[in-house]
């Protein structure tokens, strides 16, 4: 089956662990489709996908993803079926040409906290009619992220029993995965500067770009980013954005 998947040219098939932001599998067809080998996806995970995503689409995609997560929290414990998340966005190839793709993933299972864990999905090129989407500028994205903080800065997460999809039992190469623990009353205190940096990270700025934007050194940005990872109890940027979105009710 994997040999047939790798021979596909129209779609790239992947398996991802959302709790770590790691791609567990990426078909070789991604090279024909996007112009990149599977290597960077394995090495950098979601961070690499974000790096080739159009900055005008990133905030919208993040909003759609978070909204879908909220809906899944309410329904996944009650509905014993596959759940799908589909988004459309632009990516650039190695020649820096932009084109539209559709990303569709089937959530295979959930963590004990009701969050998607493993997803089997595919990416394909599509044609988008002109004007369907408007670019969201960075300022608007920052406003979206941090103007929706509830009074106590907390998001009470309803703990659902873990949903195990019958079809996933045939995937034998999955390794045990670590859930991101989110207490229902978890409080994270960050400084105004850390909040600024988190805002910029969420909108796709690199450490160098953040340094230039805030007139501080790149080393200072890296130091603040490390502190944010520690405070949010996450391992990488993808987890940081995901958890910040969840706790701060990103809409």
pLDDT tens digits, 234-243: 888 888 887 7
User: Between 13 and 58, whose confidence is greater?
Assistant: 13
pLDDT band, very low/low/confident/very high, at 89 (cuts 50, 70, 90): very high
What is the predicted pLDDT for the residue at 24?
A: 93
What is the predicted pLDDT for the residue at 25?
A: 92
pLDDT value at 158 more than 70: no
pLDDT band, very low/low/confident/very high, at 175 (cuts 50, 70, 90): very low
User: Could you give the percent of the chain with pLDDT greater than 90?
Assistant: 17
Containing structural domain, residue 102 = 2-247
User: Between 16 and 187, whose confidence is greater?
Assistant: 16
| Mean of per-residue pLDDT scores for the chain | 72
pLDDT value at 132 more than 70: no
Residues 39-51, mean pLDDT to the nearest whole number: 91
Say how many C-beta atoms besides its own lie within 10 A of residue 163's C-beta: 21
User: Between 186 and 151, whose confidence is greater?
Assistant: 186
User: Could you give the percent of the chain with pLDDT greater than 70?
Assistant: 65
pLDDT value at 140 more than 80: no
CATH number at residue 156: 3.30.450.20
From CA 208, how far away is CA 201, in angstroms rounded?
Answer: 11
From CA 118, how far away is CA 162, in angstroms rounded?
Answer: 12
pLDDT band, very low/low/confident/very high, at 138 (cuts 50, 70, 90): very low
What is the predicted pLDDT for the residue at 58?
A: 82
pLDDT value at 61 more than 60: yes
What is the predicted pLDDT for the residue at 42?
A: 94
pLDDT value at 177 more than 60: no
What is the predicted pLDDT for the residue at 226?
A: 92
What is the predicted pLDDT for the residue at 223?
A: 92
User: Between 209 and 128, whose confidence is greater?
Assistant: 209
Picking from 90, 100, 105, the residue whose alpha carbon sits closest to that of residue 126 is 100
Say how many C-beta atoms besides its own lie within 10 A of residue 174's C-beta: 15
Residues 40-67, mean pLDDT to the nearest whole number: 86
How many domains does the chain contain in total?
1
């Amino acid at each position: 089956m994997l040999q047939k998947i790798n021979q596909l040219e129209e779609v790239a098939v992947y398996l991802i662990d959302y709790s770590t932001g790691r791609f567990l599998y990426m078909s070789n067809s991604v090279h024909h489709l996007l112009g990149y080998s599977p290597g960077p996806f394995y090495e950098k995970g979601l961070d690499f996908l974000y790096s080739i995503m159009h900055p005008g689409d990133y905030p919208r995609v993040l909003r759609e993803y978070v909204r879908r997560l909220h809906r899944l929290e309410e329904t996944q414990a009650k509905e014993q079926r596959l759940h799908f998340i589909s988004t459309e966005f632009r990516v650039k190839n190695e020649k820096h040409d932009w084109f539209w793709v559709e990303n569709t993933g089937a959530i295979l299972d959930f963590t004990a906290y009701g969050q998607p864990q493993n997803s089997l999905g595919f990416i394909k090129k599509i044609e988008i009619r002109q004007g369907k989407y408007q670019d969201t500028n960075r300022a608007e994205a920052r406003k979206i992220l941090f103007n929706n903080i509830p009074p106590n800065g907390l998001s009470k997460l309803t703990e659902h029993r873990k949903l195990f999809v019958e079809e996933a039992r045939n995937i034998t190469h999955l390794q045990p995965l670590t859930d991101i623990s989110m207490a229902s009353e978890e409080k994270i205190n960050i400084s105004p500067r850390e909040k600024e940096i988190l805002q910029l990270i969420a909108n796709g700025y690199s450490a160098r770009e953040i340094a230039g934007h805030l007139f501080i050194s790149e080393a200072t940005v890296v130091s603040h980013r490390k502190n944010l990872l520690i405070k949010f109890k996450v391992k990488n940027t993808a987890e940081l954005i995901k958890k910040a979105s969840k706790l701060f009710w990103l809409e």
